[in-house]
Structure 1
Amino acid sequence: MGSHETAGERPTRSTRRSFLTASAAATAATVAAPLTGTAAAAHEPGPPPGPGQPVRPQPPGRELAALLREVDRDRIEATVRRLAAFGTRHTLSAQDDPQRGIGAARDWIRDRLSEYAAASGGRMTVELQSYVQQPASRIPTATRITNVVATLRGVSSPDRVYVVTGHYDSRATDVMDAVGDAPGADDDASGVAVLMELARVMATRPVEATVVFAAVAGEEQGLYGSAYLAGQLKAAGVDVQGMFSNDIVGSSTADDGTRDPRTVRLFAEGVPTAETPAEASVRQSVGGENDSPSRQLARFVADVAENGATGMRIRVVYRRDRYLRGSDHISFLRQGWPAGRFTEPNEDFAHQHQDVRVVDGVQYGDLPEFCDFDYITRVARVNGAALWSLAQAPGTPKGAVIVTSNLTNDTTLRWQRGDEPDLAGYEVLWRETTAAEWQRVIAVGDVTEVTVDLSKDNVFFGVRAVDRDGHRSPVAFPRPGS
């Protein structure tokens, strides 16, 4: 492998290895998989000289490619049209009318997810997660808010969890109008259709980690449903290692007619909201403002989902969300978990949050007729590639530290070994401080400490885990320590 063991190390697993520039390059012949997609990488300079190999895209494996082929455009369209047909799904609308209102939509979603769970061999369960929201902003009277949650339990690492949401409530121009038509096709039947279709195709496949598919309510009134879901997971001590909100993923056409049907935006926050001022100060003093867990998650998505199997480009946006608005991923960011928001590349504001009406012979409103179902299908495949790859890979390394207690021209990194039964080892990644994406990767084996002959003063480092099948985790950015 071109590396050497230090004295006293076991030949099959060491706690420390030292890599020189020349020898480390030789060890890395087996590594692959960058943390950025090809479109983004095209604008980056070539990888710098130094230890390791250039990072390369991670192509979809046979299982993932088969899963993505099963994502069904017609089912997605049928889901969007059925949800729009409930007339309104306003959080304050009727909960006991079998034909119209949020209650009818809730029950329909539950019934469909239960059908999918029936084919899972007992791995998937479905529940209605309810609570009564007392009067608050945009909630004038005590209101029951219900999330529909399907949980696909992992078979070997069930305590590690990934979450995907869409909100099934809708609104008209007046956010307090609970009786007028508010079909909410793009916002956000499209996102609900994504998670429901992924629940269907993943239910029949064993996954290593647990995936939660949640249609949440109360988003338009203030993220109430997702805040409750995230709070319940936090209270239960769940290890949420990634979350995606799909909100407004129904069309690629802007209000000026501009179309970009092969791009989806992924919003990724920088320094985590949950960090204390002292933690944020440390991060900024040593660098890493662009290395939050959410941005590492976004890089992972581009790595595994920007390929021919999805037909999409992932435009990662380094912001928490769009101006004046926010989606359900924010509820998870507030709990300190990595999370991002998928949304279409352009928005047609003439059709969002607008009453259904006809003006000069043109019908307006958030109707299915303005959705692009081929586009939603591709967005579903992006989500599917990300969730499947996360659930089958090892978890993000924990306890990653870059040793800063000594004045040296090399770099020592430490981390905790994961407990996945198929864990094969780890890779160290690095990049120039001016580069947005990881540039080189070094295979270091099944160790928990490594010294690289490269100055920590000059570059950024990260660590990721690899299993025996070559699945790679998101990168952990190390904190300074001793």
Structure 2
Amino acid sequence: MNRIKQLGLLSVVATLSVSALADVEYRDQQALHAIAGSVSAERIEQDIETLVSFGTRHTLSETESETRGIGAARRWIKAEFDKISAACGGCLEVYYQSRVIEGEARIPEPVEVVSVIAVQRGTVDPDRYVIMSGDIDSRVSDVMNYTDDAPGANDNASGVAGTLEAARVLSQYEFAGSIVYAALAGEEQGLFGGRIMAEQAQADGWRIKAVLNNDMIGNIEGINGVINNTTARIFAEGTRQDETADDVRRRRFTGGEVDSPSRNLARYIDWMADRYIPNLDTMVIYRLDRFARGGHHRPFNDLGYPGVRIMETYENYNRQHQDLRVEDGIAYGDTIDGVDFDYAAKLTALNAVSLASMAWAPSPPAEVSISGAVTANTTLKWRTATAAEQDHIAGYRVYWRHTDAPNWEFSRDVGDVNEYTLENIVIDNYFFGVASVSKDGFESPVVFPGPAGAFGE
């Protein structure tokens, strides 16, 4: 849980403690409450049932059948996105994205890996993107077994169903920035759908500010017997994967190990959970993914885009990557009876409000820099908003926290400027950042100064 405090004019009296000042007066957004309340557990259940009905969605499985295999599954997903678009007057651009993969350990022969993408264009800054994704494919114990039934109800029909449901809800609104809903293929065979999308986005010059990868958002009963439907995990990598040698040297002397854009994206989502999702506490995990494991946000992280994984807190490994069977009284397999639809709806709502808030907010500040060594003051600078956003942006908010604090503690609104000095706040004792704020109060994620924290242009 975040505790953020807003500072007005600071007294220069050394005895004044910043921690004693009043909490920030956050502007509550009724539209985000409405979005969270519009997510339907019943529709998510129906979508998971349909995805499970295709028998297997293995990347190497049947593509011609209308009722079985990954081909039928992706055609159904596209048809659902097309229905959503028709209901909002054609507000989504829906298309397949594919590439032939071969010569890989898990795809030895040529296979077309096909994802389904739906783009909801922003009205102010359409070239800025936030992305929600889930994975189409499923598997059993043998990763190369593409014929046996692999229901993949939780892993990861739940993530695809959540992505579809977020599109249904958010397509009823217009946003300043663009939102992308992605059903990615080839995850179990090597994260290929994410790699294809990330590389294409980079080639097309997409300004991606957030990737919310949803992989298993429906299980509440852990392998350890714990039943929990009130927490979720957000996995976020600590340092950028596209750092140069100069960036690494700079980070050594100025910090940023825990302030990558992915980490500050995770803090933002945690902040949304505190305010808009009842009975949900999110845990920000300082790691790319589960120990020694990975997910479809990684290819985006590899190219320097901010990406996190959102998922359940307690996993049940008897239901993951398992042949359908009963042994010693234990039922194995990822079947639909292991999915809690209300919980999946709760995590979908978290995605939806986070996407909406970022898309309504201005772009995170670019070219944020900081100075103040051997002085009593700290000065932050950033680039002025683009011409397209001038009528959208109200100003900026400067944040800081103690260096051992996990979340931002203090803030100050500084107006529509591109430089601000915090007097008598010593640079050595805190970490700092800047967020942009729209005229209707929506705020971007916080940007840590320098290359370590940059969200890109």
TM-score, scaled to structure 2: 0.92
8 Å CA contact 1:58–1:304 kept in 2: the answer is no
In structure 2, the CA distance between the partners of 1:221 and 1:470, relative to structure 1 (3 Å rule), is same
Which residues of 2 match residues 145-160 of structure 1 at below 5 A?
145-160=113-128
> SS state of the match for residue 425, structure 1?
strand
Write the letter of the residue equivalent to 2:381. Answer: R
For residue 435 of structure 2, the aligned residue among 455, 458, 464 is 464
Answering whether residue 217 of structure 2 is matched by residue 281 of structure 1, we say no
Equivalent residue of 1:220, what SS? coil
The question of whether the paired residues in 2 share the 8 Å contact of 1:52 and 1:443 is answered with no
Counterpart position of 2:449: 478
Contact 1:57/1:304 (<8 A) preserved: no
Once residues 75 and 373 of structure 1 are traced to their aligned partners in structure 2, the CA distance between those partners, rounded to angstroms, is 9
The amino acid that maps onto 1:346 is Y
Q: Say if 1:242 and 1:338, in contact at 8 Å, map to a contact too.
A: yes
Q: In 2 relative to 1, CA 374–51 (structure 1 residues): closer, same or farther, beyond 3 Å?
A: closer
Give SS of 1:221's match: coil
Cα separation, 2, equivalents of 1:103 and 1:23:
67
Contact 2:247 2:451 in 1 (8 A): no
Change (3 A) 1:213 1:54: farther
Q: 8 Å contact 2:237–2:288 — kept in the other structure?
A: yes
- The Cα offsets for residues 457-480 of structure 1, whole Å up to 9 and x where unpaired, read as 221111111111111111111129
**Letter of the 2:65 counterpart:** D
Unaligned runs of 5+ in 1: 1-18, 25-47
Q: What do the CA deviations read for 1:328-349 (whole angstroms, capped 9, x no partner)?
A: 0001101101110011101100
Partner SS state of residue 353, structure 2: helix
Deviation of the 1:67 alpha carbon: 1.6
**2:414 aligned with 1:425:** no
Instruction: Give the aligned residue type for 1:425.
Output: G
1:48-447 → structure 2 map (5 Å cutoff): 49-50=17-18, 56=24, 58=26, 60-307=28-275, 309-360=277-328, 362-403=330-371, 407-419=374-386, 420=389, 421-447=391-417
**Stretches of structure 2 lacking an aligned partner (at least 5 in a row):** 1-7, 453-457
Counterpart position of 1:43: none
Say which is worse superposed, 108-117 or 448-457, in terms of deviation: 448-457
Distance 1:479 1:368 in 2: 46
| Separation in 2, partners of 1:280, 1:353 | 38
The equivalent of 1:45 in structure 2 is none
Name the SS for the 2:257 alignment partner: coil
CA distance in structure 2 between the aligned counterparts of 1:210 and 1:52, rounded to whole angstroms: 39
Distance 1:52 1:232 in 2: 49
Residues 57/81 of structure 1: CA separation in 2 closer, same or farther (3 Å cut): farther
CA drift at 1:401:
0.3
| SS of 2:87 mapped into structure 1 | coil
Deviation at 1:364, TM superposition (A): 2.2
1:307-336 deviation per Cα after TM superposition (whole angstroms, max 9, x unaligned) = 354431111101111123100000110110
Change (3 A) 1:415 1:183: same
Report the equivalent of 2:5.
none
Q: Tell me if the contact between 1:95 and 1:102 (Cα under 8 Å) persists in the aligned partners.
A: yes
- Aligned-partner residue type, residue 435 of structure 1: A
1:352-385 deviation digits (Å, cap 9, x = unpaired): 1101113355532100011111110100011111
Q: Do the aligned partners of residues 187 and 158 (structure 1) sit closer, same or farther apart at CA in structure 2, a change above 3 Å counting?
A: same
CA RMSD of aligned residues (A): 2.0
Q: Compared with structure 1, are the counterparts of its residues 151 and 51 closer, same or farther at alpha carbon in structure 2 (3 Å cutoff)?
A: same
Give the counterpart letter for 2:287 in structure 1. R
Alpha-carbon distance in structure 2 between the residues aligned to 1:278 and 1:251: 43
- How far has the Cα of 1:218 moved from its partner? 0.2
Q: For 2:383, what is the secondary structure of its paired residue?
A: coil
CA shift, 1:23, in A, is 8.5
Deviation per residue, 1:45-84 (Å, 9 max, x gap): xxx8239955548575221211221111110001111111
Q: Secondary structure at the match of 1:466?
A: strand
Taking a change above 3 Å as real, the CA distance of residues 105 and 310 of structure 1, as seen in their structure-2 partners, is: farther
Q: Identify if the C-alpha distance between structure 1 residues 57 and 228 changes in structure 2 by more than 3 Å, giving closer, same or farther.
A: farther
Pair 58,370 (structure 1): closer, same or farther in 2 beyond 3 Å? farther
Partner of 2:275, secondary structure, is: coil
Please say if residues 63 and 71 of structure 2, whose CA atoms lie closer than 8 Å, have aligned partners that are also in contact: yes
Report how far residue 216 of structure 1 moved.
0.3
Secondary structure of 2:202 counterpart:
helix
CA distance in 2, matches of 1:407, 1:362: 64
Give 1:394 shift: 1.1
Equivalent position amino acid for 1:409 in 2: A
Distance 1:256 1:177 in 2: 28
Q: Secondary structure at the match of 2:318?
A: coil
The residue type paired with residue 237 of structure 1 is G
Moved more, 211-220 or 125-134: 125-134
Would you say the 8 A contact 2:32–2:276 is kept in 1? no
- For 1:480 and 1:267, locate their aligned partners in 2 and report how far apart those are by CA, in whole Å: 21
State the match for 1:21 in structure 2: 10
CA contact (8 A) 1:57 1:303 kept: no
Change (3 A) 1:58 1:187: farther
Q: What amino acid is aligned across from residue 448 of structure 1 in structure 2?
A: N
Deviates more, 1:120-129 or 1:391-400: 120-129
Q: Hey, what does 1:5 align to over in structure 2?
A: none
Structure 1 residues 362, 479: closer, same or farther in 2, change over 3 A?
Answer: closer
Relative distance call for 1:376 and 1:410 in structure 2 (3 A) is same
Question: How many residue pairs end up in the alignment?
Answer: 439
Hey, what's the Cα distance between the residues in 2 that align with 1:281 and 1:165? 34
Which letter maps to 2:382? Answer: W
Alpha-carbon offset, residue 134 of structure 1: 2.3
Contact 2:393–2:437 at 8 Å: present in 1 too? yes
